Structure 1
């Protein structure tokens, strides 16, 4: 039977708040205490709060080009098109005009997602609130979200849209789909790679925020420590999380799989490719530090999102002087318990950073 990590809806907000740091701003904090019928209801609540704030600030605008048949030339005159359509005989010209408008791609995506949510299985109050906000978007066109371009260019004027577009993308792709009341299976529509990306961002966001005063959290690439030769053909080593307290280093790779173990002929085995990957990360990081006389201990951890499989990966191995651990994170718990599991990782590998009892 295929299993998937199970996450209570109440925890999805917390995961998203670390993946999208904007959700930790004051106007969103009350969402942590609200109850939601399902994940669509949660996404609707986030968009309602975000767009209510954005409308007060002012919707983002951008220049949008369109062609019009005009009496008075404006913008770029399209001579060829005007001749082809014989508009000059009517003393009119076809011109391409750039208008500075709220009918931007970002606003179109948000409006279209809100319209979709207004017909979804969400609370009546949120449907009403969505329709009230949609009335403020009358100058924004609806688009087909199945075929739209999600690549939005962000600048200092529209940075507040980054998280909102991310939530729209999750909603449209069916990333968070309820499987039973109060719980959600995060594997119903997206594959392991797409699901793992949210899990990765959550882990990185948690450590970079909650431990920022004691531990440096990065995800820099690890160079291949090759002795001469061309390394451009080698794969990029990009760990998900690297924790460093100045004395020790821990490399964490997030794994979000339907099956956390391999089973052959009735015997469970850990995913060999994941172990090889982490072994390579740890050994090259150790060599990189040693090249500059740095003797910090480097360890590695594969951190799987726990499923309800019969057997879960768990173990710690000394491989040639480096410790490599395989652990699971149980996301089907109250969030303080999840946070405690993540803090226990710090306690195990960075004991000197822990506060005194």
Structure 2
């Protein structure tokens, strides 16, 4: 779905800047003013700037366990290996100890991402030079196999909070843009729809949170099942969780937005184009269970990212007293027009407010 249009790639930057506020800091100003022909080039620019900034503060260090033969005791004695040393007439103690090290998962991921961006033809020559300049500080840090990276092990706290954006960019590069060739090597591909979908959701949520502060609530909330009966509480464990992408509230009025980023917006049956049935059933279920008192104060919108299809949905229906529909957000326009579309969606439902 992604096209090699510079304005579209720049919109990926803007979306990232909402998802990760650190991009709005002054050291990323140059990135914001540049044009990019593809996502790889954009990610290279962000990483070179972000890592350069991190190097001024020092690379993140954490305790890693080491096993070494030492002349003096350090940490915990490894008795079996110490005995083995004695048998081999080595006057060394086998010790196991923890040491602060830059050679940890966070920096290993950074180095691995830099390596693959440097080998990609889509990255501009000047940005490759910038990446090589920061790479020299990673000599003692190991490389990883992208397919074996344990992304779930990444946890953020005060000392490594600045790594969150960098790790997400690396995730887009290493998990979303690499494919294994028949020879077992890796090559760069397009930025995947799956990863773009996650960014699309987070961007919309953060945009409303930052710019529509008049709203009582902006969140990715859960909808509770409206069950009746004596055993409803015990039976609810068999039902799936209803997790919304975006839930906007102004007093009693609620708008549920389900962000959809697909290669094809519509399905075709018997020469007729329709909305994906599962999407309609999903948003209808969210709305009707949220509006358990049938007030009509809950509405739902399927917000599709525009594709190259000729037909783009922009419809609203009254379904059992609730407004439910589908709209299209064109990400291939100037960013000011994109946010104007988002503002209009909120304005159409909640009325004109001071933004």
Both structures adopt the same fold (TM-score exceeding 0.5): yes
Q: Do structure 1's residue 153 and structure 2's residue 155 form an aligned pair? A: yes
Q: How far did 1:19 drift?
A: 2.2
Contact 2:85 / 2:92 at 8 angstroms: preserved in 1? no
Q: Can you list the C-alpha shifts for 1:282-304, whole angstroms capped at 9, x where unaligned?
A: 111111xx49xxx5711000001
SS at match of 1:157: helix
Q: Do structure 1's residue 127 and structure 2's residue 128 form an aligned pair? A: yes
Q: Provide the residue aligned with 1:267 in structure 2.
A: 272
Q: Do structure 1's residue 67 and structure 2's residue 72 form an aligned pair? A: no
Tell me, in whole angstroms, the C-alpha distance in 1 between the residues paired with 2:196 and 2:87. 54
Q: Can you list the C-alpha shifts for 1:57-111, whole angstroms capped at 9, x where unaligned?
A: 1211101112112222212211123335655632223221211111121011112
SS at match of 1:96: strand
Q: Do structure 1's residue 225 and structure 2's residue 226 form an aligned pair? A: yes
Q: Provide the residue aligned with 2:116 in structure 1.
A: 116
Tell me, in whole angstroms, the C-alpha distance in 2 between the residues paired with 1:31 and 1:213. 31
Structure 2 portions without partners, runs of 5+: 180-188
Q: CA RMSD in A?
A: 2.3
Q: Do structure 1's residue 45 and structure 2's residue 45 form an aligned pair? A: yes
Alignment match of 1:245 (pick from 250, 260, 263): 250
Which stretch shifts more, 131-140 or 248-257? 131-140
Q: Provide the residue aligned with 1:18 in structure 2.
A: 18
Tell me, in whole angstroms, the C-alpha distance in 1 between the residues paired with 2:165 and 2:318. 41
Which stretch shifts more, 322-331 or 70-79? 70-79
Structure 1 portions without partners, runs of 5+: 178-186
Q: What are the within-5 Å matches in structure 2 for residues 167-206 of structure 1?
A: 167-175=169-177, 188=190, 190=192, 193-206=194-207
Contact 1:347 / 1:354 at 8 angstroms: preserved in 2? no
Q: In structure 2, do the counterparts of structure 1 residues 213 and 26 end up closer, same or farther at CA, with 3 Å as the change threshold?
A: farther
Tell me, in whole angstroms, the C-alpha distance in 2 between the residues paired with 1:350 and 1:59. 46
Contact 2:260 / 2:305 at 8 angstroms: preserved in 1? yes
TM-score relative to the length of structure 1 = 0.88
What is the number of equivalent residue pairs in this alignment?
Answer: 337
Contact 1:59 / 1:102 at 8 angstroms: preserved in 2? yes
Q: How far did 1:43 drift?
A: 0.6
Contact 1:285 / 1:298 at 8 angstroms: preserved in 2? yes
SS at match of 1:143: coil
Q: Provide the residue aligned with 2:182 in structure 1.
A: none
Q: In structure 2, do the counterparts of structure 1 residues 176 and 313 end up closer, same or farther at CA, with 3 Å as the change threshold?
A: farther
Tell me, in whole angstroms, the C-alpha distance in 2 between the residues paired with 1:303 and 1:157. 37
Tell me, in whole angstroms, the C-alpha distance in 1 between the residues paired with 2:87 and 2:202. 55
Contact 1:301 / 1:326 at 8 angstroms: preserved in 2? yes
Q: How far did 1:136 drift?
A: 2.1
Tell me, in whole angstroms, the C-alpha distance in 2 between the residues paired with 1:111 and 1:117. 10
Q: Provide the residue aligned with 2:91 in structure 1.
A: 91
Tell me, in whole angstroms, the C-alpha distance in 1 between the residues paired with 2:2 and 2:105. 34
Tell me, in whole angstroms, the C-alpha distance in 2 between the residues paired with 1:296 and 1:309. 33
**Greater relative contact order (Cα < 8 A, sep 6+):** 1
SS at match of 1:94: strand
Q: Provide the residue aligned with 2:300 in structure 1.
A: 300
Contact 1:154 / 1:162 at 8 angstroms: preserved in 2? yes
SS at match of 1:302: strand
Q: How far did 1:223 drift?
A: 0.9
Q: Provide the residue aligned with 1:166 in structure 2.
A: 168
Q: Provide the residue aligned with 2:36 in structure 1.
A: 36
Q: How far did 1:233 drift?
A: 1.0
Contact 2:214 / 2:354 at 8 angstroms: preserved in 1? no
Higher helix content, 1 or 2? 2
